[in-house]
Chain A
Amino acid sequence: MNSPAAIEVRDVRQEFRVSGGMFAAARHVVAVDGVSFSVPAGRVLGIVGESGCGKSTLARLILGLLAPTSGDALVYGQRLAALDRKARARLIQPVFQDPFSSLNPRQTIQEIVSLPLVAQGSFEAPEITRLTNEILDRVGIARAMATRLPAELSGGQRQRVAIARALIIKPKVVVCDEPTSALDVSVQAQILNLLAELRREFNLTYIFISHNLAVIEHVASTVAVMYLGRIVEMNETDVLFRSPRHPYTRALLDSVLTPEPDLGIPDVGLGDAVPDPSRIPAGCRFHPRCRMAVERCQREPPKPDLAAPDEMVECHLANQDNPFQLVGGQYAQG
């Protein structure tokens, strides 16, 4: 890659110690297990995966809210872990899922939005007011609302306020952790469009976490699919949605509900078991739920197959002369 990556994540790993009580041994939960990716400036990396796959932990790691057990995250070549809180705030900002818990209920909109500038300590009060008004105008919040409390705003307005707070300091990278999933469907599109406009305007790079495949397909330029703490497949959005290579990605894509009532709820053949990050299976971590699993999958964890820098899949079967194909929504051994 010739242009430096806006954000690069190198082999980050996060273990949590779960206390088993006073006398029981502590267990280790590996929430994120060796994740690497890099996103060029101005692009959007979408991260999808089911609940508990570690995508929110990954977001918190990147934001510096958690110290990774190992690994690094770099923004424009600067290690985030080595920066102080002010310098880090200038590089990377979050937009969280629930705008009802991401705004302090005891502060006015003005106070909430200006916090990143105030925390820097180097801005004069008139400038803070000017920049706050500017960004509120930009995200479509009337100035009259600046003195209100969050409780007086609707969900969509609150999320606009949260976006204003993230962008007021002109960061390089914004981590959006399911920014629309707590909103009404009618408001989701507005927020997504606003995020897209702001990305072009401020030349931002997004990491966009969601479990909503339609949203990801709409906003992301590259998609990474996470399963039990690892990225199992990553590719350009249209390629990944057109020809998924990992069986888990296929299952995810098959699980999207259609408006056709006759089709019912799709059975994607993953079974009922919810994966447990404290007991990650040996071999390929997906093999207990995989329809295609062969004997080798139980023994040997697949190596990431890097066809291109932005194209990766972790599956023993992905490259074996195309052993399975998607036929009419069902898998068939080829």
Chain B
Amino acid sequence: MSIAISLPPVRVRTFRVGNVGFWIGVAICSVVVLAAVVGNALVPHDPFAQNLNNRLVPPFWMEGSQPDHLLGTDQLGRDYLARLVYGARISLLIGITTMIVSGLIGTTLGILGGYFGGIVDDVVLFLITCRLSIPVVLVALAVVGLLGSSLTLVICTLGLLLWDRFAVVARSTTMQVRSLDYMNAAMCAGASTPRLLFREILPNIASHLAVVATLEIALAILFEATLSFLGLGVPAPLPSWGLMIAEGKDYMFFSSWVIMIPGVTLFIFVMGVNFVGDGLRSLLGAERPR
């Protein structure tokens, strides 16, 4: 007599389509972060050192390239690889600090509105509506035009303008969590309001905020590039990617690599950050029970 035993197939976690994108994004972001942190120690050139006798040297895959300058030089003879790597530092700095500033503002407003409801929520909704009706680039232009451009100013301006997604997501997720029974149980347990906000709500909406945070970094970097391209971002000697594109635009017909290299880098990096964000969303979404 034989007994047939059928067991359900063991589920092995394999690379799913969503995961592949996530890991590609992680790889791209790690390369950029690594470049920003240690890149300038590896590249033998100073990103600010000019050499007017050696201007617009093409990159390694074109004729007339110099082995010394892998990505060539720009219109002032500065090493393009050194500037690109230094630009990664500027772009990351802007992306991450802007995300932190806007994250603090948006999350605070969103949680307060979602938790307290009523008049507080009306005020928060009004602020979000106001913010959404402000054209970011115009305001940034006006601020920079009035106060002059500096890295700090760009970060502050973007941080104060880009909190809307944080607020919307924090508010709606807080409202969801607030109606769940573990919030009711914690209230019945006599928990104080700060405890409810920081121990019950915040950990449960953190995964959603993490997704917004990655997308916000990408958005801030793009905005910085826009502002720099318009000549209103980081001031000139600093090599931000947007500024490199702006500086190269006069030469793009004869030396197209000067805008291609920072442009493609920017595109790939922002895409990588978005991949990470999307991947986080599906990973964290799948992790939740039910």
Contact = CB atoms under 8 A, between A and B. Distances in A.
B191 A97 contact: no
A63 B188 contact: yes
A101 B181 contact: yes
B190 A119 contact: yes
Given A65-B187, A100-B289, A105-B204, A85 B181 contact: no
Interface string B264-290: 000000000000000000000000111
A85 B190 contact: yes
A106 interface: yes
B10 interface: no
Contacts, number: 74
A226 interface: no
A151 B288 CA distance: 9
Contacts of A94: 184-185, 188
Interface in A90-125: 90, 92-94, 96-98, 100-107, 112, 115-116, 119-120
Interface size class of A (residues with CB under 8 A): 20 to 34
B203 interface: yes
A43 interface: no
A165 B288 contact: no
Interface string B198-220: 01100110000000000000000
Contact of B185 (A85, A96, A106, A169): A96
Nearest to A89: B190
B192 interface: yes
Interface in B34-89: none
A86 interface: yes
A106 B189 contact: no
A185 B192 CA distance: 37
B48 to A, nearest CB: 47
A94 to B, nearest CB: 5
A207 interface: no
A301 interface: no
Contact of B189 (A96, A101, A116): A116
Given A100-B290, A104-B200, A106-B204, A119 B189 contact: yes
A56 to B, nearest CB: 11
Contacts of B290: 100
B222 to A, nearest CB: 33
Nearest to A84: B190
A150 B203 CA distance: 14
Interface of B: 180-182, 184-192, 195, 199-200, 203-204, 288-290
